[in-house]
Amino acid sequence: MKFKIKVKNSRTSWEEEYVENLASEDEIDIFASGLIANYNATLRPGEEPREYLDYKVIDKDLKNHNWEKQNYFTKIDRNGCQYDEYKCTRCGITGKRFTLDGNIVPNKQFKAKKYKYCT
């Protein structure tokens, strides 16, 4: 889900944009409140506490990538690391999986935040 939260301190207010994998809009309040509470709990000298005001949903329907394995056999790079190559069947970005936990790391050209979810 892509959303903005409105935050203020003693002098001004502003909006911050986030892209998070949240199941419902109710979770935005929990996420934002926790984020601001953590910020306030770890203030450094000279920083002002912040207050969470509201949120606005920008895009509800962000889709996770639909990864499809591209190689039949596990590959080995020049350093001896084993990996599998993957490609998203929806948007076409590519990535590699180095561990068995299912975490696929997008290739260098797809590291930007805009590639986190399918469009």
5: three-class secondary structure by DSSP: strand
Measured CA to CA, the distance from residue 77 to residue 72 in angstroms comes to 16
Report yes or no: 55 and 85 within 8 Å, Cβ to Cβ: no
Per-position pLDDT tens, the chain of length 119: 788 999 999 999 999 988 787 778 889 999 999 999 999 999 999 999 999 999 998 877 667 788 899 999 999 999 998 999 999 998 899 999 988 777 888 999 998 878 887 76
Q: Please report, as a single letter, which amino acid is at residue 35.
A: L
Report yes or no: 112 and 93 within 8 Å, Cβ to Cβ: no
